[in-house]
Structure 1
């Protein structure tokens, strides 16, 4: 049965006070290699210092059976209202977190901008640019953690003066729940994806994300704990030139000196410490410089087998309704509809590319199920979100907001000069 695409009229009607609470998109996924394959969930650090270790995150979720997985008696039983929901608590593993899924949505929008897609190039943004010996490097408010309130922006300059003295930036920082117009016209990512002016001493702007998403996997064996089902990862490195490279201290020092501009400061310090401690006739392994083989070994955690994998997105219309852009409710509705259209576009762009991480290649086993809440238990289904449709929807919402006089998106960019002190002292190494 064909389904209708969600329209701007649907968004406008439901961002008005008393409208539906959410729009959701839920998709059944599976390992690309087949049901026999394990997948690599996201890893998290548990503990600190020497006690720190990599772990997967397990939770108990209420999982409703898919209709095709139910036997005929259950299908008949599910037809009655009191038995409409069939499910039970099950152990799941977090394959991709809410923050990670938002990062992927933001990256998908930025990728569309790079390709010159008509709709997303119109989205206003703030950009901080660092000048380096390798050329300029740009970072947008969709990439930095706290959006336009991030430390990289706050430490920057506009027209050679500290950004905190800039009237445009002051207007962004001084937004209140009563009027978010400045953010809408300059850095709207904050209004959809959330932001926090965390280091300001008072009057901090705090915005929850109106869009959240995640991917979970239902563990294959519900009789054992998640830790018992974790696969171990094997790894090795083969050097085609030599299985082992052992250097005299002076030779190691020569290699380190030659590569000093390329190696991290931590690596350089450790190697020079090895050289300092070594006796004249000693030999030092060149493995930390990427030379020589590393024998196969089994270490850390690798993956888990899942009987079912579910990706879900929730666009909270209720959250968008908390945003105001002045006293004119017509403008408020147009602005909220614009942000809702941007949210749907972000979902569509993120869903289009199922790129998660190494050893976590997934495919869709069914079409996404898109649903609009209509309150009082009523729901309205829509066709799966596509980039083509949501691009058109976003363009219509942009035009509608312009006619309402609340925002005119034309790809305007708030440009900030990155502080050279920061980029000069940046390193790829972790602080620990």
Structure 2
């Protein structure tokens, strides 16, 4: 691991010819080549109808259409969850902020590795510290709030994953808000998609009548042919989960010629990070540590032989290569293998990087920074755990 670390140290500080780490993998559907896969649905511009995100790009020099099976934001979230799972298994520790509470006797927690806007999320803005002060007024909260482009040392100490996956402090009114680009980016696409269709409906084994009923507080009752009282809420039986629903046509997934994942760790982005008055040695070691974290998150999330993106989108890995991407030579790009295929190897590299950064003077906590929701946020959380009447059934 020492040799890999030394090369990563030089690359993350742009002191070598290495400009990035690239990971390229090919998958096929678990059901075999050409089997139907289901991409994430999005609202199509102009109609708000459900559709898939697609674009044209060059693949092997040819212009083809691709459909996104997983976007960079989702891929980053998978890496963050994998890191958090490893932390909770005791395999490593990554400093993070965690909101903890309970509702209806159910433990509730949210870390910056899970929150939509990472450490700058409204969950933490609306939380309290140990002395009942607003999180932004705690020492840690102030340090994160007051960070700036020339000094991200607070993020490095408290929420380093934010510097790997990107963060934007959009929930606080500041003319100059923290905005850090992601150093790690990954996506999965299906090449040359053929778009299918399917029919979805509901079969009721008892064939209950599809009549109109009155929805009550927490239940419903039949009207027996009478009119509903004035102001009452009514619904069809199918809207409350009973009765037959005739099948109707909807989007039905895609069949593709290949499934490709491409991920990169940008050394230029890592080298752009500044940490205030830190020594040059510690700054360099910190950038290498973040690079090692990016590689670890990727290996934890994607090194396995199979990958489940969502229902109807199970993939089996066909091939994968990790490579150093360096300055071109004689008009051709230079790529060399990076021997870091397994999660265990990435864990060893990360542990080595932590050791080197700590030796250079980095102070990392060994416990998460715990906060709890304020009264308004707690009330909103409680409401999410309450049963409040009958909802509409979701489609298949």
Q: Shared fold by TM > 0.5?
A: yes
Question: Matches of 2:327 and 2:139 in 1, distance apart?
Answer: 43
The 1:6/1:109 distance shift into structure 2, 3 A limit, reads: farther
Which structure 2 residues correspond to residues 125-140 of structure 1 after superposition, within 5 A?
Answer: 125-140=96-111
Deviation at 1:94, TM superposition (A): 1.1
Q: State the Cα deviation string for residues 296-342 of structure 1 (Å, max 9, x = none).
A: x2322111111111011111111111112234111111101111111
Aligned pair partner of 2:112 in 125, 135, 141? 141
* 1:152 alignment counterpart: 123
Which structure 2 residues correspond to residues 282-321 of structure 1 after superposition, within 5 A?
Answer: 285-295=236-246, 297-321=247-271
The 1:209/1:231 distance shift into structure 2, 3 A limit, reads: same
TM-score normalised by length of structure 2: 0.86
Q: Does the alignment pair 1:8 with 2:5? A: yes
Deviation at 1:6, TM superposition (A): 7.4
Question: Matches of 2:192 and 2:229 in 1, distance apart?
Answer: 51
Aligned pair partner of 2:160 in 158, 179, 188? 188
- DSSP 3-state at the match of 2:273: coil
| Count of residues paired in the alignment | 369
Q: State the Cα deviation string for residues 251-293 of structure 1 (Å, max 9, x = none).
A: x44xx43449xxxxxxx9xxxxx944699xxx96322222233
* 1:40 alignment counterpart: 38
Question: Matches of 2:325 and 2:296 in 1, distance apart?
Answer: 18
- DSSP 3-state at the match of 1:355: strand
Q: Does the alignment pair 1:244 with 2:208? A: yes
Structure 1 stretches lacking a partner, 5+ long: 65-86, 221-228, 261-267, 269-273
Question: Matches of 2:357 and 2:219 in 1, distance apart?
Answer: 55
User: Counting strand residues as a fraction of each chain, which structure ranks higher?
Assistant: 2
Deviation at 1:27, TM superposition (A): 0.4
* 2:58 alignment counterpart: 62
Question: Matches of 1:161 and 1:42 in 2, distance apart?
Answer: 40
Q: State the Cα deviation string for residues 100-157 of structure 1 (Å, max 9, x = none).
A: 11111111122222333x22xx111101123322333110001112211111111111
Q: Is the 8 A contact 2:71 2:187 kept in 1?
A: yes
Question: Matches of 2:132 and 2:274 in 1, distance apart?
Answer: 33
Aligned pair partner of 1:379 in 335, 346, 369? 335
* 1:408 alignment counterpart: 364
Question: Matches of 1:348 and 1:195 in 2, distance apart?
Answer: 22
Deviation at 1:182, TM superposition (A): 1.4
TM-score normalised by length of structure 1: 0.79
Which structure 2 residues correspond to residues 361-376 of structure 1 after superposition, within 5 A?
Answer: 361-366=314-319, 368-376=320-328
The 1:230/1:404 distance shift into structure 2, 3 A limit, reads: same
Aligned pair partner of 1:28 in 11, 26, 29? 26
* 1:67 alignment counterpart: none
Question: Matches of 2:59 and 2:275 in 1, distance apart?
Answer: 40
Question: Matches of 1:336 and 1:312 in 2, distance apart?
Answer: 22
Q: Is the 8 A contact 2:57 2:66 kept in 1?
A: yes
Q: State the Cα deviation string for residues 64-92 of structure 1 (Å, max 9, x = none).
A: 1xxxxxxxxxxxxxxxxxxxxxx211111
Structure 2 stretches lacking a partner, 5+ long: 222-226, 385-390
Q: Is the 8 A contact 1:130 1:420 kept in 2?
A: no
Q: State the Cα deviation string for residues 151-210 of structure 1 (Å, max 9, x = none).
A: 111111112112222122101111122222211111112111111111322231111111
* 2:388 alignment counterpart: none
* 1:359 alignment counterpart: 312
Aligned pair partner of 1:257 in 217, 221, 235? 217
- DSSP 3-state at the match of 1:292: coil
Q: Is the 8 A contact 2:13 2:267 kept in 1?
A: no
The 1:239/1:336 distance shift into structure 2, 3 A limit, reads: same
Question: Matches of 1:408 and 1:165 in 2, distance apart?
Answer: 21
Question: Matches of 1:248 and 1:33 in 2, distance apart?
Answer: 42
Q: Is the 8 A contact 1:195 1:205 kept in 2?
A: yes
Aligned pair partner of 1:398 in 343, 349, 354? 354
Q: Is the 8 A contact 1:245 1:287 kept in 2?
A: no
- DSSP 3-state at the match of 1:144: coil
* 1:92 alignment counterpart: 66
Question: Matches of 1:103 and 1:194 in 2, distance apart?
Answer: 11
Q: Is the 8 A contact 1:334 1:400 kept in 2?
A: yes
Q: State the Cα deviation string for residues 340-362 of structure 1 (Å, max 9, x = none).
A: 11100111111125110111111
Q: Is the 8 A contact 2:98 2:112 kept in 1?
A: yes
* 1:113 alignment counterpart: 87
The 1:47/1:419 distance shift into structure 2, 3 A limit, reads: farther
Q: State the Cα deviation string for residues 14-44 of structure 1 (Å, max 9, x = none).
A: 1123442210111011111111312111211
